[in-house]
Every structure is written in C-alpha cells, then in structure tokens.
Structure 1
Amino acid sequence: MRYGLHETPPIGVTIVGALQWLIVTLANTFVVPLMISQIYGLDTAQSHSFMQQTIFFVGVASLLQVWIGHRYPLMEGPAGLWWGIFIILAQIGTSIGVAPSQIGQSFELGLLLCGAMFLFLGLKGWIGKIQEWFTPAITGTYMTLLSISLCSNFIKGMLGVGYNGSIQVQPGIAILSLVVMGLVIWFLRIRKIASFAVLLGIVIGWFICAVLGWTQPVRASGEIFAWPTFFFWGPPRWDAGIVLTSVLTGFVLLTNLITSLAVVGASVGVKATKEVYNRGGIFTGVSHLIAGSTGVVGMIPISLAAAVIQTTKLASRLPFNVAMVLMMIIGVFPTISAFLTSIPTPVAYAAMFVSYTQLLGFGLKDFARARLDERGIIVIGSALLVGVGVMFVPTDAWKSLHPLLSFLLGNGLLLGVLVALLFEHVIMRDKTKQQADGKE
C-alpha cells in the first residue's frame, strides 16, 4: 500500500486519487436513477431532479460514514436489492391500480422504518445476532429470486422494448446492447481498467447511439443551481405490503453491510472490529433515513471500493473525502444531472447486465455454503418453487384481493423468502442447532 488509511498523500496524488473515486462512484450511482425514472414514468424535469437528488445524497452519506461511521474509504451507493424492489413493486402496483408516485411514497416510509431499525440494532450492538437468522439458505433464496424477478426488465430494456416509445423489439438496439455487454466483459478482464468497465461501456455505447441518431437531444435545465428537495415522491404513505417488504430487505442488507466492511477492512490493512460493524450499521441507518426523507433509492456501502483500493494502492481517506465533496457539488448543478439522464436506457441496461449477474452469483455462492442434505433441499426448493411460480401468475389475477394480500401473494420475491424463513426456522428447524441453543 503506497498510502495507508491514516496517511496524507501529496497534493498531486490526492487530486488523481479523488478523480478516480469520483468516476467510480458516479459510475455506480447514475444508472439506477436513470432506470427508475423510466419505469416510474417520470418526465424530463422529474428525471433530472431524481438524478440530482441521488448524486448529492450519495456524497452526503459516504462522507458521514468515512467521517464518523465505519471510517473506511468506502462509498455508499444505491443498493441493488433496493432498486430491484422499486422495480418489482412498481409493476405489481400498476397492475392493481396503484400509481407509481404512491409506490414511491410508501417506499419513503419503508426506508425511514429501515433506517430506524438499523440505528436501533447498531446502538444495541445486535447486528451480528440478527444476522444469524439469515442463513445461506435464506440469503441465497433472496438473491436468486431477486435476479430472476429482474431479468425481464433487463432483457426488454436491452432489446429496445419501451425505448423511444417502441412496444416492439428493435433489432439495431438489440445488437448494440450485445456489443456493449461484450465490451464490458472484455474491459473487466483487463485489470488496469476493470474498475471502469461499466463506465467505459456506457460511454462507448452512448457514442454509437449518437452517431446512429438513436439518442434524444440533451434537454438542458433552466436552472443553474438547485438544492435537492425532501420527499421527492410526496409525503410518506402507509402500505403494509411495501413496508413489510422494506423491513425484510433491510434485514437481508445486513449481510451486504458486514461483507463490505470485512472486505474493505482487509484491503486497507485495518481489520473491521465489532465496534466498526456497529458504527457502520448506525450510519447505514442514517443513510436510509436520508433516502426515506428525500425519496432516493436506499444506500449501502459498495464493496467495489476494495477493488479500487487494491488497484490504486491508495487507502488514504483524504482523496476519498475530496471525491465525495465533488459528488455533492455535482448534485446541486441541474445541468450535469440533465446530461447524465440523456444516456440511452438500453445502453445502461446492457452495461449493467454483467454487474447484475453478480446478484445471481451471490445467491449461488450462498447455496454452495448451505448444507444441501434432504432438509436443505426441501427448504430451498420449496422457497424457490413458490417464489418463481408466483412470478408466472398474471399480476391482474390478484386484483380482487385486499392490497396487502396483493403485494404479499403477488410478490414472488417476498413470498419465497417468507417460505424459506418459515421452513428454515419453524417447520424444519435444524435439530442439531436446536439442541445447541437449548444448552446455552
């Protein structure tokens, strides 16, 4: 390591390191609000504002963590689990007559409750204990069902369905998506630029789209400077189904928090302690409170930071702090947000597809860690079959039920995980673990 966690690099190294952090953080931030803007039907001004909100508050949450949270150079970013839930429930809500803006309002409340939960668990020092409920069978089920439920949106996006108002597959867009996906895979295999693979794929794909005339002109914002606002979707709204989904997602995200801190702690040479985990949990709660009160997607530490640190051999906090301040500055200039929201969504889907496959990979790795005896197969198999089976039931079929039941029974992801929890800890509880607990 050229510069350790507590060291101050020269000004030149600090500037270069800050630009590196800025590019990587932006690359892992702007695609998510772009996709959600399209799926929730936001107009141009709303899309610009949502992008601006996301960039600004990613910078705020990351600064709070490195300053008084876990204190690692570890950027926050929109959680893959959260934006996946945003997309899934938007589809279910539309099918039963709930407007996308109302879904957003319910998510605000769900994120606020998750933030309070993280704060409580962190202050009590219970994060590690609660995490024990989510065995590899449970987390593997969650990740696998999440990736399966999202694949339809990715494939349709990469085929051009819905792009520029088209309801049919666009062959040219589909070919371009394959090219972008191939480029990202190629870049990932080149160690020196692997951290920028998604960003490079988007830039090249965007350029090709522009040359072929498939892009829309950048619509500049009428404002030069604008502060982000609170409650982007409107005042928080109670919806039991969405709140239940949000709290369950928060529990599962404990796995991501603990894993990210462990990996980055190892990369900087300062191992994460119990205190670090609890502080990280507390300020993950703060970041969720920020997300809930502003309407952006819930944020969590992004473990890609470990790869950046290993590549640059720069673990110092100073360049990271500078980069997050720059993120906040970018987030108050609507013109930059307008520029980023003009990226063609098929290109964004294609560039993110390879990263998205990691969700399924995490699920498969968790299953590999689970004990696949007869009991384990019944637990996992029952959860997956129920979850995937429900995904094939037409969403209109749930219209006659109460909205809470519609969200619960029509959400294959949530239902599958609840089945896994029920089988794992109640119906088919591991007898050896039960005996061990009885001795304690």
Structure 2
Amino acid sequence: MKELLKASNWISGLQWLFFIFANTVVIPITIGAAFELSQGKVIFLLQFSFIAVGIACMVQALFGHRRAIMEGQSGLWWGVILTLCSTAAAQGISLETLGGSLATGIIISGILTIVIGLTGTGQYLSKFFNPGVMGVFMFLFGTNLIGIFLKGMLGLPFGNHSGKPSMNLPIALLSIIIAIIVIIISIKAPAHIARYALLIGIIIGWILFTVFFHSKSAAGEAGSFHIHLFPLGEPAFNVGIIITAVITGILNLANTFGALKGTNDMYQSETTKKQYRSSLTISGCFVSLSGVFGLVPFAPYVSSIGFLRQTQILKRLPLIIGGLMFVVMGVIPPIGHFFSLLPLSVGSAVLFVSYLQLLNSSLQFLKNVKLTTVTVYRSAVPIFVGLVIMTLPASTFDALPSLVRPIVSSGLLVGIILALILENVFPWDRFDFQKGDGNKP
C-alpha cells in the first residue's frame, strides 16, 4: 500500500499510460481507415482496444512474465494486416473476405499460441530464434513500423487509396519538429526529465497542433459503448489469407522472445520456462479474443526495451497503474473520446523516435553473430531481400499463386522466414573461416 501511494509511482504510471496510449490509439484508427469501417465500428475498435490492452498489461505484469513490458496490439501483425489491405484489391480479394479470413486465421493462431504456452514448448521454440534471427527481426520490424510512422508524420493516408496522395507539408514540418524535440530531451535533459521525453513530446506536440491546426477526432463524437462481433467481416475461408495469418501468428512469437530476452540484462536474470509458459498462454488468449472483436492481435512489445532504457522504470507497479488508467479511458466513452483527439501525426512522431531504439536492439543481437566475408550471407540475404520486397508494388507478385501471394508480398514475413531457415539449417560454424587462411569447412 505504501508503494501504491508514492507520487513517483503515479507519475511513472502516467508515463506508461501515455506510452501505452501512443502505441495503441493509432492502430484501431488506421485499421478502421484501411477496412473502410463505419464510424460506429471505429469508435468500438478504439474503446475496446483501450480496455483490452490495459487489462493485458496488468495480467502479464501480475501473472504472466511479471516484468514491466507492455502487452499490446502487435506491430508485426499491424504491419502485415495493413500490407494485406493495400494489396487486397490487386489480388482480387474484397475487404470483407480479407477481414473475415483474417478473423479465422487469427483465432487459429491464438489457439496455437495457447497450446505452445500450456505445453511449455515456448522455451524450446525460442532456441530457433537465436541472435541471428532476432537481429534480422528487430531490424526489419523497426524498418516496417518506422515506415508506417513516417507515413503518419507526413500526413499520408493509411490503407489502399486510389490516386497518388502527397504529403501535407505543414503537418510534416510540425511532426519533424516534435521528433527533434523528443530526441533533444532524451539526449540533453537531466535523467529525471529525460525519462519523460515521450510524455513531454506528446503534450507539446498536441498543444502545437491545436494552435496551428484545428484538431478533429478521427473517431467521431463520443457516445455509448456498442459491442461489434467480427467488425472486419464475418468469418471467411480464403486459404491464402488464413495460412498467412497462421504463419504470422507463429512468427509473432518472436515478439515474446525478443521482449523477454531483450530485458534479461536489465532484470539481471534469464527468462525461465515458467515465464515463457505464462506469457505465451496469456498472449494466446488475447490473440483469439482479437479475432472475434476485430483487434490487431497481441504480443509483448519489443519497443518496451527502448522505453525501459530511456526511462529506467523497471518496477511493475507503474505499468499496472498505467494499465488500470487505460482501462478507465476505454470504459468511460467521453474520456476515450477526448484522448482520441490526439492527431495521428503527433502520435506517429513520438513513436518514430521510440522505435529508433530497435536499431540498437538489432545491433546488440547481431554482435553475438560472427560475420565474415563468407558467413555474412546469413544476415545479409534476409535483411536485403526483406527491404527490397517492402519497396515493391503489390502488382509485382500477380504472377504467383493466390495461396502464397499474401506471404511473399510481405517483406517483413519473407525476411524473418529466410532468417529462420538460414540460421537453423546451415552449419555456419563450419564455414567460419577467412578466405585464404587454410581452413576448410
């Protein structure tokens, strides 16, 4: 009780609240825009996301991995879903079929995650996600999300839109200024101020946006809470989309492994089998829930590593407090509506800075991989192939069968799959020699 009454814990909880909020609020709004949902469904996605994410953070901190790691809607899933939305028309798939098939695949992947958690196989699966795989995952994951946030900073629309939208110059300039302010505070300010750089950036950015622009809610007017089952589309069975969803669900385990392994040094302990089992079981339950209610599926947030390094808030209590306040925001529509007024460009600018830390996480993993002129291919192939695919238009893959097209068109998925194959199939230790040194594999 004494700890609960400390002002420092509530201030840190407020920092967590805004970090959770900034990482969450843009997701349901962009998904609603990508699927062209009605105003009522977007409001539901927003409010229910607040409730579900807040509860998930508290449950994980109390009964799951028991670390100060945000549990929320997965950036990997978010990127894949937005990519599928942008390529659906080119592949002849309606948004309703896409949403319904995703719901089916997400529920299946959630059940698989629960099974992996209950059986305790998560610890063994984590061995496949060695430093080489995690380094590639962090790099491509960061690149994919940085691209989404940069798009938001430039004022560009999400999803599949006709025509050639151009950047909104005033909004882009303000977003860049906000990002620079957050970086300067993080680098130059004293430690007790720098830890609140994200919160300060959101407040300053929100005020500046309100002064220079007329901020309008992307979710409409506040109203009563109406539950919508399968808001993205009734369950459907496009095999290609379902397979893509199941594979994404398996690869989404990398978020759990990355977040837990990435915080081992901060907590000065190795993740135990019990922590993997509890964390994966809880995540799997929320993933299945996501399929029913049209949310982006859940996972521990790898970006929490950057947040923890930046703020040094390692105790669980502030996260629990932040999660509880986030639930309240979702339960009380006017509060949720007020915070939905946060401009996407401001949230994107702050998250842009936060996710830059993933480059550091990637390099930390790759430090444990010995790269020579021969073994460099284990990392170079998945990174460069994944990056190139991210830049290609959807029509590039029209010649491929519809069954594999959703997977191959995602540079993030292809890169991670290549990394898993190259790291776990090829005996790189045997190839660890320099040209001309006389050693042979």
| TM-score between both structures, scaled by the size of structure 1 | 0.81
1:180 counterpart letter in structure 2: I
2:123 counterpart letter in structure 1: G
1:54 counterpart letter in structure 2: S
Relative distance call for 1:99 and 1:62 in structure 2 (3 A) is: same
Relative distance call for 1:200 and 1:322 in structure 2 (3 A) is: closer
Residue deviations 1:150-171 (CA, integer Å, cap 9, x gap): 55444343223349x9922332
Distance (whole Å) between structure 1 residues aligned to residue 150 and residue 382 of structure 2: 24
- Shifted more, 259-268 versus 130-139: the winner is 259-268
Contact 1:45 1:221 in 2 (8 A): no
Contact 2:17 2:323 in 1 (8 A): yes
Contact 1:75 1:305 in 2 (8 A): no
* Identity among equivalent pairs (%): 28
Contact 1:140 1:366 in 2 (8 A): yes
Residue deviations 1:367-411 (CA, integer Å, cap 9, x gap): 332221345322333333433333444312333543223213322
Relative distance call for 1:258 and 1:237 in structure 2 (3 A) is: same
1:403 counterpart letter in structure 2: S
User: Which of the residues 135, 139, 160 maps onto 2:134?
Assistant: 139
More helix by share: 1
Q: CA deviation at 1:58?
A: 0.7
User: Which of the residues 76, 79, 85 maps onto 2:74?
Assistant: 79
Alignment of 1:114-193 (within 5 A): 114-162=109-157, 167-189=165-187, 190=189, 191-193=191-193
- Shifted more, 100-109 versus 405-414: the winner is 100-109
SS of the residue corresponding to residue 124 of structure 2 reads helix
- Shifted more, 273-282 versus 227-236: the winner is 227-236
Contact 1:370 1:376 in 2 (8 A): no
Structure 2 gaps of 5+ residues are 432-441
Distance (whole Å) between structure 2 residues aligned to residue 290 and residue 278 of structure 1: 19
Contact 1:228 1:332 in 2 (8 A): no
Q: CA deviation at 1:53?
A: 1.5
Relative distance call for 1:250 and 1:397 in structure 2 (3 A) is: closer
Residue deviations 1:295-345 (CA, integer Å, cap 9, x gap): 21222234638966995878364x654543332232123333333333322
The answer to whether the aligner puts 1:93 opposite 2:88 as a matched pair is: yes
Relative distance call for 1:96 and 1:254 in structure 2 (3 A) is: closer
Distance (whole Å) between structure 2 residues aligned to residue 141 and residue 333 of structure 1: 41
SS of the residue corresponding to residue 77 of structure 1 reads strand
Structure 2 counterpart of 1:438 = none
Residue deviations 1:415-438 (CA, integer Å, cap 9, x gap): 333333333334x344659xxxxx
2:173 counterpart letter in structure 1: I
Distance (whole Å) between structure 1 residues aligned to residue 423 and residue 241 of structure 2: 23
The answer to whether the aligner puts 1:65 opposite 2:32 as a matched pair is: no
User: Which of the residues 52, 62, 65 maps onto 2:47?
Assistant: 52
Contact 1:122 1:279 in 2 (8 A): yes
| TM-score between both structures, scaled by the size of structure 2 | 0.81
Q: CA deviation at 1:127?
A: 1.1
Contact 1:229 1:294 in 2 (8 A): yes
Contact 2:75 2:145 in 1 (8 A): no
The answer to whether the aligner puts 1:112 opposite 2:107 as a matched pair is: yes
Q: CA deviation at 1:413?
A: 2.5
Distance (whole Å) between structure 1 residues aligned to residue 393 and residue 208 of structure 2: 37
Contact 2:43 2:219 in 1 (8 A): no
Relative distance call for 1:416 and 1:213 in structure 2 (3 A) is: closer
- Shifted more, 261-270 versus 356-365: the winner is 261-270
Distance (whole Å) between structure 1 residues aligned to residue 136 and residue 319 of structure 2: 35
Distance (whole Å) between structure 2 residues aligned to residue 167 and residue 19 of structure 1: 36
Relative distance call for 1:133 and 1:375 in structure 2 (3 A) is: farther
Q: CA deviation at 1:358?
A: 3.1
Q: CA deviation at 1:52?
A: 0.8
Structure 2 counterpart of 1:315 = 315
2:29 counterpart letter in structure 1: L
Alignment of 1:38-437 (within 5 A): 38-162=33-157, 167-189=165-187, 190=189, 191-216=191-216, 221=221, 223=223, 225-226=224-225, 228-261=227-260, 272-302=271-301, 304=304, 315=315, 317=317, 320-426=319-425, 428-430=426-428
Distance (whole Å) between structure 2 residues aligned to residue 302 and residue 64 of structure 1: 14
Residue deviations 1:209-248 (CA, integer Å, cap 9, x gap): 222235336876352x426444331333334444444444
2:82 counterpart letter in structure 1: I
Structure 2 counterpart of 1:31 = 26
Contact 1:61 1:76 in 2 (8 A): yes
Contact 1:220 1:335 in 2 (8 A): no
Contact 2:15 2:199 in 1 (8 A): no
Distance (whole Å) between structure 2 residues aligned to residue 205 and residue 31 of structure 1: 15
Distance (whole Å) between structure 2 residues aligned to residue 323 and residue 420 of structure 1: 36
1:160 counterpart letter in structure 2: G
Relative distance call for 1:292 and 1:346 in structure 2 (3 A) is: same
Relative distance call for 1:28 and 1:169 in structure 2 (3 A) is: closer
Q: CA deviation at 1:364?
A: 3.6
Contact 1:146 1:413 in 2 (8 A): yes
Structure 2 counterpart of 1:9 = 3
1:155 counterpart letter in structure 2: L
SS of the residue corresponding to residue 414 of structure 2 reads helix
Alignment coverage as a number of residue pairs: 424
Q: CA deviation at 1:129?
A: 1.1
- Shifted more, 397-406 versus 16-25: the winner is 16-25
* Root mean square deviation of aligned Cα: 3.5
Residue deviations 1:268-291 (CA, integer Å, cap 9, x gap): 688743222221222122222222
